[in-house]
Every structure is written in C-alpha cells, then in structure tokens.
C-alpha cells in the first residue's frame, strides 16, 4: 500500500471532503472537513484499505490563525501492511467540536478526554467527556498557547543561571 494509492481511494470516495494533503517524511497527511471526519475514518477502517488501528488522537493550537485555530489530529495504522496515515481537522476556537470516534474505536475514549481536557475540544457523542489528568475544578485548558511559559512571580529563579 502506498501514499498515492490511499490518497486516490480517499479522493475518489470523498471528492469534496479532502482539503489538502502533504507527505512530510513520506507520511501521508490529509486535511479533512471536520463535518466528515467520522465518515472518512469509518471508510478507512471498513474498506479494503483495512486501516483498522487508531494509534493516537491529539490536539493542536494555532492562535495566529483564527479560522483554523484549534486542530484535532488522528493517527491511523494498517497493522498488516505497516501503512500509517495522519488526518487533520481544523476549526475556530469558539466552535471547537468534532464527532467522537468512540463508536468506531473503544480506545478513542481516553484520547478524546485528554484532548478535551488540554485543548477544550468537545467530542459530540462521547459517553463520558470529563477531566482525567488535571484537577476537576480547573477552568482552563493548559495546552492552549494563551499562557506564559514561566511563572514571573518566582523569586527562586536567577536568570543569570540560565544564560538570559
């Protein structure tokens, strides 16, 4: 199985859904409309492509791009051929919501909860979307690039020690 073969199958099946693609380090990466991500992943899993293993779901934040500020990235794998694929969906921060993959992959449960917790993406249809790693009363999403990297109030840090 090759990048070209999978890309052609996706293009043929979803001509209006694929927004862009690239192959960094020979790793097929496809941007998909967020409304269609579940259909695309369902097709990849149940078609003759047999891309049946969900390796990871994670979030990403691009504050400089309001239309594509929040992204969700899916890594999929065909265990028989070793073929890997990355799918991306983007959305504005105010509308950070995408379909849950828990119906297709039980393992998506915790990955989606983690993405919700750290980036604020809501997963429609998730059976138990709640915090699992941080304290329950945390009212912000710590992986968003809205917060300083360091605590400016710390008195025990001497910048001379860090070459600043």
Task: Give the DSSP letter string of 95-138.
Answer: G-EEE--TTT-TTHHHHHHHHHHHH--EEET-S----SSS-TT-
pLDDT band at 141 (very low <50, low <70, confident <90, very high): confident
Percent of the chain with pLDDT over 90: 77
Q: Phi/psi of residue 134, each to 5°?
A: -95, 175
What is the distance between the alpha carbons of residues 90 and 133, in angstroms, rounded to a whole number? Answer: 24
Mean of pLDDT values over 59-77: 96
Mean of pLDDT values over 27-40: 96
Q: What is the mean pLDDT of the chain?
A: 91
**What global pTM score does this model have?**
0.88
Q: Which residue has the tokens 């699992």?
A: 132
């Amino acid at each position: 199985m090759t990048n070209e073969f999978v890309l052609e199958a996706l293009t043929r099946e979803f001509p209006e859904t694929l927004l862009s693609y690239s192959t960094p380090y020979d790793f097929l990466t496809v941007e998909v409309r967020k409304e269609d991500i579940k259909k695309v992943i369902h097709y990849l899993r149940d078609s003759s492509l047999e891309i049946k293993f969900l390796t990871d779901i994670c979030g990403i934040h691009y504050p400089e791009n309001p239309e594509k500020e929040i992204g969700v990235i899916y890594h999929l794998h065909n265990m028989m051929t070793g073929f890997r694929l990355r799918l991306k969906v983007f959305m504005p921060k105010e509308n950070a919501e995408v379909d849950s993959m828990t119906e297709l992959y039980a393992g998506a449960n915790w990955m989606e909860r983690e993405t919700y917790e750290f980036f604020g993406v809501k997963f429609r249809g998730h059976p138990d979307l709640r915090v699992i790693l941080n304290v329950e009363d945390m009212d912000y999403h710590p992986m968003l690039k809205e917060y300083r990297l360091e605590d400016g109030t710390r008195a025990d840090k001497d910048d001379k020690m860090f070459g600043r």
